[in-house]
């Protein structure tokens, strides 16, 4: 007689792209391992707990514990629970969440590669992940010797969206330009773009704006379309499911934290600019960005943007902290990372599409830069089981 299906409650909203990605990762784990009898609670983010939860007799829970009402009910349940929220309402639970330091690094590198010398962060103090991203982004700017202005909303400012956009506009108007603004998430990024439009501040030439989440609908409806750091909620959900399964099987994991890094940056018009006054260097960086995956070399850059190699090397390194050759390699490896995670292409095809002559050279360059071979990177970012080596 087959064993009864374990009953798992999913307290995850379906109203936004990140949460739907979590659910997709949970589904992927069940397809690869074992099915569960799933109870999915309908509701918005931070909503009240469903009435049935207090008397639920299932085997486990994966929850976005965003408020005290849900936390209060879950504390009384005698089942394994995995938290997929950064709010940390129940600190003793294991939790799987975004790696906010890595997200800030992606944003910083995105602006640095475009030559920005002035940076800013537009946050939302209601959320831990916003504060963590702010701290990491400001630290990276400080370590590079770059100024970083920070916007923090007034208490309960989120209750009046129009007034909030006006205050963001006042803040932006006082920033030195050109400036690269990291918004803590896509909705805040859209507010920054709205504020710029009302103030007639050109985007991206004066203010470049980068969000987080890469919610295609929100980003493409923005004016101009919003660039965004690509998170990996599918892997987050997969990790949470694997962790809960171990707990339901009797494993003790304590308050383990599993942090999931981003996949890169989706570049749209809001950051499609090179913020460099020297036109020769700006053209060279733009050429590298547009053609690196075509197998170009520094000689090709100099042919397209004539100037002395010594001058180009000096100016590019001073502006972005890398040589032209290193910048070409960075763009290629970013392409490789995206293709490893988003496609099933074999390494030979990926090498070809990213501008590497041989997959062997790609493997060596990738391992030198990332620390692990491409095959392990693909497995880790797509569906790494919880508890495996990092």
Q: What is the pLDDT along the chain (390 residues), one digit of tens a residue?
A: 456 899 999 999 988 889 999 999 999 999 999 999 999 977 767 678 888 888 888 999 999 999 999 999 999 999 999 999 999 999 999 999 999 999 999 999 999 988 899 999 999 999 999 999 999 999 999 999 999 999 988 765 556 788 999 999 999 999 999 999 999 999 999 999 999 999 999 999 899 999 999 999 999 999 999 999 999 999 999 999 999 999 999 999 988 899 999 988 999 999 988 877 788 888 898 899 889 999 999 999 999 999 999 999 998 888 888 899 999 999 999 899 889 988 889 999 999 999 999 999 999 999 999 899 999 888 877 654 333 332
Enter the pTM of the model: 0.83
Report the b/e string of 49-65 with b at 16+ CB within 10 A: bbeebeeeebbbbbbbb
Q: In terms of residues, how long is the chain?
A: 390
What are the boundaries of each domain within the chain? Answer: 7-97+233-261, 100-231+265-271, 279-383
Closest Cα to residue 122, out of 231, 207, 222, 15?
Answer: 207
State the residue for tokens 């990926």.
Answer: 350
Same fold, 100-231+265-271 and 279-383: no
CA distances from 73 to 48, 66, 78, 197 (A): 10, 12, 11, 44
Q: Say how far apart CA 281 and CA 290 lie, in whole Å.
A: 14
CATH topology of domain 100-231+265-271: Rossmann fold (3.40.50)
CATH topology of domain 279-383: Arc Repressor Mutant, subunit A (1.10.10)
User: The tokens of 181 are what?
Assistant: 């603004």
CA distances from 303 to 253, 266, 300, 308 (A): 58, 29, 5, 10
Q: Say how far apart CA 170 and CA 135 lie, in whole Å.
A: 22
Closest Cα to residue 218, out of 19, 17, 12, 14?
Answer: 17
3 state DSSP class of 68: helix
DSSP codes, 287-313: HHHHHGGGT--HHHHHHHS-S-HHHHH
- Side by side, the strands of the sheet bearing 37-40 are 37-40, 7-11, 60-63, 81-83, 95-98, 257-260
CATH superfamily of 7-97+233-261: Response regulator (3.40.50.2300)
Q: Say how far apart CA 247 and CA 62 lie, in whole Å.
A: 12
């Amino acid at each position: 007689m087959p064993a009864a299906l374990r009953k798992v409650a999913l307290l995850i909203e379906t109203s936004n792209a990140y949460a739907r990605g979590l659910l997709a990762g949970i589904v992927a784990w069940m397809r690869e391992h074992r099915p569960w009898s799933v109870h999915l609670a309908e509701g918005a983010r931070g909503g009240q707990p469903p009435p049935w939860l207090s008397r639920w007799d299932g085997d486990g829970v994966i929850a976005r514990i965003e408020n005290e009402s849900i936390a209060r009910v879950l504390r009384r349940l005698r089942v394994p629970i995995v938290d997929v929220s950064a709010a940390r309402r129940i600190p003793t639970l294991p939790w799987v969440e975004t790696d906010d330091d890595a997200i800030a690094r992606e944003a910083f590198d995105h602006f640095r590669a475009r030559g920005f010398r002035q940076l800013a962060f537009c946050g939302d103090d209601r959320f831990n992940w916003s504060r963590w991203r702010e701290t990491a982004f400001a630290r990276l700017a400080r370590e590079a010797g770059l100024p970083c202005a920070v916007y923090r909303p007034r208490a309960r400012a989120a209750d009046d969206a129009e007034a909030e956009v006006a205050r963001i506009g006042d803040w932006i108007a006082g920033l030195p330009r050109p400036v690269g603004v990291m918004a803590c998430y896509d909705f805040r990024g859209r507010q920054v773009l709205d504020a710029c439009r009302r103030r007639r501040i050109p985007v991206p030439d004066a203010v470049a704006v980068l969000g987080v989440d890469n919610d295609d609908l929100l980003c493409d409806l923005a004016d101009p379309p919003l660039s965004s750091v690509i998170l990996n909620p599918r892997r987050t959900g997969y990790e949470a499911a694997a962790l809960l399964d171990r707990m339901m099987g009797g494993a003790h994991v304590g308050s383990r934290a599993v942090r999931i890094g981003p996949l890169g940056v989706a570049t749209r018009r809001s950051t499609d600019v090179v913020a460099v006054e020297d036109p020769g260097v700006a053209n060279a960086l733009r050429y590298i960005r547009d053609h690196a995956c075509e197998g170009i070399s520094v000689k090709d850059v100099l042919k397209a943007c004539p100037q002395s190699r010594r001058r180009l090397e000096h100016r590019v390194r001073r502006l972005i902290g890398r040589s032209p050759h290193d910048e070409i390699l960075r763009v290629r490896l970013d392409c490789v990372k995206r293709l490893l995670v988003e496609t099933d292409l074999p390494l030979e095809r990926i090498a070809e599409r990213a501008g590497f002559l041989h997959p062997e050279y790609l493997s060596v360059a990738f391992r030198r830069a990332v620390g692990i071979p491409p095959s392990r990177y693909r497995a880790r970012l797509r569906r790494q089981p919880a508890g495996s080596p990092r």
